[in-house]
Amino acid sequence: MGVSERGGALPSQVGGYRLPGLEGTRALVTGGSRGVGREVSLLLGRSGARVGVAYRSRQQAADEVVAELGRGGASAWAVGGDLSQPGSVAELFREVDGRWGGLDILVANHGIWPPDPVPLWEMEPEQWRRTLSENLDSIFHLLREGLPRMASGGSVVLVSSTAAQRGEAMHGDYAASKGALVSLVKGLCVELAPRGIRANVVAPGWIDTEMAAPALPTGIRERVATSIPLGRVASAADVAGPIVFLCTPLARHITGEVLNVNGGAVLVG
């Protein structure tokens, strides 16, 4: 694992949105080097949180997120590792222990989406196993290490997908892995409630990110946009705002819920 850090005094306002109730909180964001995770990390930092950015392999991108947070006066650091491996997750939380001694916010945003469409009966077991390992086993390892360290009043947000609820033909591995997160959080919220910790899921639709780019070439992107009632593909920031909202006291009576962020896409054929 590689580690980098940047810090400073947080000013009263750092451009863009700033959500209340996060001042001084300790927030860990996985998949935090790009896309939605990057926007979540930046919004948390602007809102006063101290931010740990976990990434798989893109150290330069993660360092840029840390540097941007540092320029705004937020305290941030980054650690790389493969969260599908228990040893890497344990190392990540040794870093959390050394820096903070605990955790208030855990946003599990990492994951993969194999872009090539494959009918389930033609899918290689290796693809199935890898997708579930990266998208589901990693969540188990993350929660197993992270939850004992979480303080009362804390918040867990798992990032799923509309595929969790409506399925996704030719991507059964991805849909299964994301659907499992919805079921997981329904029980997890009950387990955590006596400790004063909330757990929710955010389920985005199409997002303008690097991961989705292979499926949204010119022409297809426009067709997808017209199928969304709000008429456009979401930006990463569109999804980051609802995620961070669930981490604030504004959402203090919300737990076990699935917050869809899809422009109304699941309401049409």
Enzyme catalytic residues = 174
Give strand pairing partners of 9. Answer: none
Please name the residues in contact with 21: beta carbons below 8 A apart, sequence gap of 6 or more: 248, 249, 250
Q: At what angle do helices 138-146 and 172-192 cross, to 10 degrees?
A: 20
C-alpha span between 208 and 221 (Å, rounded): 9
C-alpha span between 242 and 170 (Å, rounded): 28
Give strand pairing partners of 54. Answer: 30, 79
Query: Longest C-alpha distance within the chain, in Å?
Result: 56
Q: 125: helix, coil or strand?
A: helix
